[in-house]
Amino acid sequence: MNWEALTAVSTAFTGLVILLTVIFAARQVRALNDQSKALGAQLEHLRRATQLEGTLAVFDELFSPDLQDAYRFVLTEFDERMCDETFRTEALERAPDSETHLEVYILRHLERIGTLVKNDLLDAEALLDFAGFFIRELWEKLQPLALEQRARFGNVRLWENFEFIAQKANAVFEEKPQMTRR
C-alpha cells in the first residue's frame, strides 16, 4: 500500500470526523438555546403569576375596613383636624397615636405599596388602573403633612415611595384623563 494514499484517506477521514463533530455541536447548541428560551418563558410566566397574586392581595387590602376608615377620615376630617394645634403637633411626631391619627395608616400602607411598585414586585399598570384616582386623591390631601415631616425629621426620603406611585398615577391620568388605558 502506498503511504501517501493512506495519509490522504486518514486526512479525509479526520476531516469528516471534525465536520460531523461541528454539526452535532451546532445542533446541541441550538437545542440548549431552545431550552433556554423555554426556561425563560416559564420564569416570566411564574413572575407574572406571582405579580398577579401580589396585586390581588393589595386590591383586597385596599378594601379592608381599616383602610376604608382611614380613607374616609383623610377625605372628610383630616383638613379640619389639622387646624387643631394639638392634633397637628401630634401628627408631626415620629409615632403619633394610630387610633387618633388614621392618616399614618394611609401613609405607611401606600409607602409599602409604592416600594413594591418601585422595585417591580407589583404590577404598577394594574394597580394604577384600579386605584390610581384613590392614590392621587390621598397624596394630594397628605402631601403637605408628608413634606412638613420630611423637613422636621431631616429625611428627604420619608414617604418617597407613596409620592412615587402618586406621581405615576398623575402621569397616567394626564396621559388619558377621560378613559382607562388600552
Residues 28 and 91 in one domain: no
Q: Which amino acid is at 33?
A: N
Residues 30 and 106 in one domain: no
Confidence (pTM): 0.75
* Maximum average pLDDT range among 4-8, 27-31, 166-170, 177-181: 166-170
From CA 173, how far away is CA 80, in angstroms rounded?
Answer: 28
From CA 182, how far away is CA 175, in angstroms rounded?
Answer: 12
Residues 40 and 81 in one domain: no
What pLDDT is recorded for position 47? Answer: 84
Residues 94 and 152 in one domain: yes
106 with 70: CB under 8 angstroms? Answer: yes
Residue 113 domain boundaries: 63-175
The three three-digit cell numbers of residue 112, written as one number: 409599602
The three three-digit cell numbers of residue 165, written as one number: 406611585
In a domain, 181, yes or no: no
Give the tens place of pLDDT for each residue, 28-73: 989 888 888 888 889 888 888 888 888 899 999 999 999 999 999 9
